[in-house]
Amino acid sequence: MPTVRIIARLDIKGPRVVKGIRFEGLRVVGDPNELAINYYGQGADEIICIDTVASLYGRNSLKEIVGRAVREVFIPITVGGGIRSVDDARELLRIGADKIAVNTAAVNRPELITELAMAFGSQCVVVSIQAKRRSHGWEAYTDYGREHTGLDALEWAKRAEELGAGEILLSSVDMDGTGQGYDIELTRSVAEKAGIPVIASGGMGTPRHCLEAIRSKADAVAVASSIHHGKNGVNDIRAFLMNAGVSVRQWGQRSLS
């Protein structure tokens, strides 16, 4: 098994990190820079910053946040929310983002995925899918879980890969913020068919939930509420997974920050 990544997810609104339940009722959690540094020090393997309102208002507060974070945080940073063009992406990459996550703009104009992959390489392009369970399968949502698309989440994931995505950030709107565990069925359905890495997101409450997602073929797990509220540290999750025989990042005796 390749090394599984534990990713700290920061949902951003304006200058703050926020978190809700099922993408609603957003509450302020803290300062993005402080949290990013904190999770880096706890041993997070990556940071994902998603602007929760950028699609809605067509603006982007992420530039400043990313610019500050890269001075202190020496792990990959993925940035998403409101990215509509190759130029938007180039600006964020220039500041120090490593990967670009797209959802709304990619649903509206799927060629954007290919354009980004051609310009920066597939490894740079994360397609974010916000999936809601339906009587049959899952539907992909945009605009931070507000707008439905009519797209089947599984088919959209496959299409995104064909168009040049390098990774799928798969969020379950139903499980998000509940602490009840990832949507395992969704994770497995997408990850089994994908030839690119899949990040499970939404629902992590205990380290065991991460293990379940990994056993369902997730290549990485995103964590948010649980670490924001101090229920689990990234280091606890890592220790739990290691004890369960999962291959995780090794840093020997080196201090983390």
Cβ of residue 22: shortest distance to other proteins, in angstroms? 28
Which residues does residue 55 pair with via DSSP β-bridges, in sequence order? none
Give the single-character DSSP code of 10. Answer: E
Residue closer to other proteins (CB basis): 96 or 179:
96
Nearer to other proteins, 135 or 250 (CB): 250
Q: Which is nearer to other proteins, 120 or 137 (CB)?
A: 120
Distance CA 10, CA 175 (A): 16
**One of 27, 123, 155, 242 touching other proteins (CB under 8 A):** 123
249 binds other proteins (CB under 8 A): yes
Q: Which is nearer to other proteins, 58 or 87 (CB)?
A: 87
* List of residues 6+ apart from 232 with CB closer than 8 A: 206, 207, 223, 226
230 binds other proteins (CB under 8 A): no
* Residue 245 binding other proteins, by CB under 8 A: no
98 contacts other proteins (rule: CB under 8 A)? yes
Q: Considering beta carbons, is residue 51 or 167 the nearer one to other proteins?
A: 167
Burial 148-187 (b: 16+ CB within 10 A, else e): ebebbbbebbbbbbebbbbbbbbbbbbbbbebebbbbebb
Q: Is residue 87 within the footprint of other proteins (CB under 8 A)? A: no
- Residues 151-190 binding other proteins (CB under 8 A) are 166-167
**204 near other proteins, rule: CB under 8 A:** no
Supply the minimum distance, in Å, between the C-beta of residue 149 and other proteins. 26
Instruction: Point out which residues pair with 171 in neighbouring strands.
Output: 130, 201
Q: Does 75 bind other proteins (CB under 8 A)?
A: yes
Can residue 250 be called a binding residue for other proteins (CB under 8 A)? Answer: yes
Distance from C-alpha of 213 to C-alpha of 188, rounded to nearest angstrom: 8
138 near other proteins, rule: CB under 8 A: no
- What pairing do the DSSP bridges indicate for beta strands 220-223 and 138-142? unpaired
Q: Which is nearer to other proteins, 73 or 175 (CB)?
A: 73
- Give contact residues for other proteins (rule: CB under 8 A): 2-5, 40, 45, 67, 70-71, 74-76, 93-96, 98, 119-124, 166-167, 194-197, 219-220, 248-257
